[in-house]
Chain A
Amino acid sequence: MGYVAVKGGAKAIEASIERLTYERLKQRRSLDVEDVAGGLRLLIDQVMSEGSLYDREVAALAVKQAEGSPEEAVFLLRAYRSTLPRKYYSRTIESETMRAERRISATFKDIPGGQLLGASHDYTHRILDPALLEEDHRSAGEWLDRWVDRAKGTGAVSTNGHYYLPKVLDYLRRQGLMEAVPKDDSPPKDITKEPLTFPSSRSERLQILTRGQTGAVTALGYASLRGYGPLLHPTVAELRVGHVAILVNPPQNSDAESEADAYYVGEIQITEVESVVPVTVSAGQNRSEISFELGYGVCFGRNETKAVAMSLLDQCLERPDAGYPTHDEEFVLLHIDSVEASGFISHLKLPHYVTFQSELDSARASRDGVDPGAPT
């Protein structure tokens, strides 16, 4: 009678958990966490981003334990995160200070500071490479040595990235083509410590989007592009991947502003996207003109599709429109979280004996034409 047998359920569950370990180890191979961290870089990035916790070692452990399932690994990270006291908020990061490893623009061919392709799958052919079947630690090391030698020789290849690149959007701003937005310095709400209420603030929306499930954010961003939105073609003004420094103010001087007063706690790699969307604005006297609005996307690690899709959804949600689900903040924000979506879907596998019995009672009564609600 299934898995709610009156007795013995606990034993069956123990055995099931053991079986899971067996499945992980049955090839008699154990995956080294360092190999996970080194070789599954983009999976680690995705898991840290959706898990909302930046720690490559912990994420690699989660990926190993989850046998590579992103939803399970994210789940592990989020649960671990719930046990950590949160003591500080970092200072605002100005992303011009990013040590950029990649930086491209789709708006202008020539941008101040130049286009920097960095590392990307974008320019590869997706053809399986059988040579990787033979690759081992030694051949990997040899390739690396050759590449570094060449880099030293030319001076053109940097492994460190570039500092302080100006923002592409500043050009459009100076020309008055960007929609003017009043500066908003109100402190962001922390969605992990305060409940989300509607209508939401932009800080809340950005937090939920950045930790959204990659597939869900991509799908909804795609939908907005394809026609579940007012069919405007956004353009990526700038996409950057690089490292930014995290600075924390000393507790006794939490309002300090000078560089010297802050503690440097480390750096994180992020992907940042600023896209522009053309909008029609009224210019008075029945005239209208075209202007540009900003959509902002950012996430931990390298995940460009997600960051671009996030920038589209950010702009969508800035312009609520009941006609399109992608412009409905409750529809978007409440359904893109990996832990929430996968959790609630998976709960359908739990026993529903009580509730189904109750439904059955209603179903049978309605079929019998019996009307227990009628006065007797």
Chain B
Amino acid sequence: VKKLYNFAFLDEGSKREIRRATLKAIAIPGYQVPFASREMPIARGWGTGGLQLTLSLVGRSDTLKVIDQGADESVNAVNIKKLVGATTGVSVTEETAEATLIQSRHRIPEVSLRKDQIVVLQVPNPEPLRFVEPQEAVTKRLHAEKDYSGAFLILFEQIVRHGRVAHGADHPVMVHDRYVMAPSPIPRFDNPKLDSSEALILLGAGREKKIYAVPPYTRVVSLDFEDRPFEVEDMSGRRCRICGAADVYFDELVDDETGETYFCCNDTSFCAAHRAASSVVPVPGRDR
């Protein structure tokens, strides 16, 4: 028991198996490859799928960035960064541009990514058809037969009930005209970033034991109807109180003193860089 853990925690046999599943996932964009997900030292649902991808890929020369709902210092990100750091010793960064490996919970960074970067997204529910069909054996067949009427039916019912498509995050996408895929609960705002991305995007669901991928330059189209086109969250008219940025995804906050609502960039590393580069002076006394 007293011996130190392996490099990158998992034993080499497990890592090899995860990489094999990953290669298959890259070869079949959007297809969910089952894998024998290992139990990790962080909880199921806290990014164990993403973590296993990261640990199977990380090498000594990598630079790692971990994001939790946009923030580098949020609980989940800190947890994962600490574990990977402690078991590998690789350098970690908050700068998106410096990272070779980016594990993220539910956001794709605001700055555009490069082809020498890999994004690993954490996935709670990999099955976009789960709402219409609880049984795995059935959804697997629906994918094989490219029977996606259920996926469109969900959208249709939302329009009937709410007058609009009411998917919050995790709006399903069609990957390269073949597989309908759950993009993980990224906001709709981030869906367009999946399309023809230069970076390789890997998605890992630890509890549900699936790995899937959006390889570089893959067509990714958010599901919609001709007369009800896909729309991202409305961020118009908002500006970041800290850095002044517009047209990014915002956190909504309430001022403790005045009780008024204000906005900050959700992507904290983008916010810090934008603030350093711009001449915007933050509102005095409200600097967070």
Q: Interface residues, chain A, CB within 8 Å of chain B?
A: 1, 3-10, 13, 57-58, 61, 75-76, 78-86, 190-199, 330, 334, 339-340, 342-347, 350-362, 365-366, 369-375
Residues of B in contact, count (CB < 8 Å): 76
Docked complex Cα distance between A174 and B253 (Å): 74
Docked complex Cα distance between A202 and B38 (Å): 21
List 13 A-B pairs, Cβ < 8 Å. A9-B73, A10-B73, A82-B38, A82-B40, A84-B11, A192-B38, A351-B71, A354-B106, A358-B185, A361-B233, A362-B166, A362-B168, A374-B228
> Which residues of A are found within 8 Å of B48, using beta-carbon distances?
343
List B residues 72-101 near A (Cβ within 8 Å): 73-76, 78-79
Docked complex Cα distance between A95 and B195 (Å): 57
* B9 engages A360 (CB within 8 Å): no
Task: Determine whether B250 belongs to the interface, using a CB cutoff of 8 Å to chain A.
Answer: yes
> Which residues of B are found within 8 Å of A191, using beta-carbon distances?
36
Q: Known contacts A5-B73, A373-B159; is A343 also within 8 Å of B9 by CB?
A: no
> Which residues of A are found within 8 Å of B162, using beta-carbon distances?
362, 366
* B166 engages A366 (CB within 8 Å): yes
If over half of B's interface residues share one DSSP class (helix, strand or loop), that class is named, otherwise mixed; here it is loop
> Which residues of B are found within 8 Å of A359, using beta-carbon distances?
168-169
Q: Interface residues, chain B, CB within 8 Å of chain A?
A: 1, 5-6, 9-14, 17, 34-41, 43-46, 48, 68-71, 73-76, 78-79, 105-107, 124, 134-137, 140, 159, 162-170, 185-189, 207, 209, 227-229, 231, 233-234, 242, 249-253, 264, 266, 268, 271, 288
* B39 engages A81 (CB within 8 Å): yes
Docked complex Cα distance between A352 and B76 (Å): 11
> Which residues of B are found within 8 Å of A343, using beta-carbon distances?
43-46, 48, 207
* A351 engages B39 (CB within 8 Å): no
Contacts across chains A and B counted by CB atoms under 8 Å: 198
* A350 engages B76 (CB within 8 Å): yes
Q: Known contacts A4-B71, A5-B73, A9-B78; is A355 also within 8 Å of B207 by CB?
A: no
* A75 engages B39 (CB within 8 Å): yes
> Which residues of A are found within 8 Å of B185, using beta-carbon distances?
354-355, 358
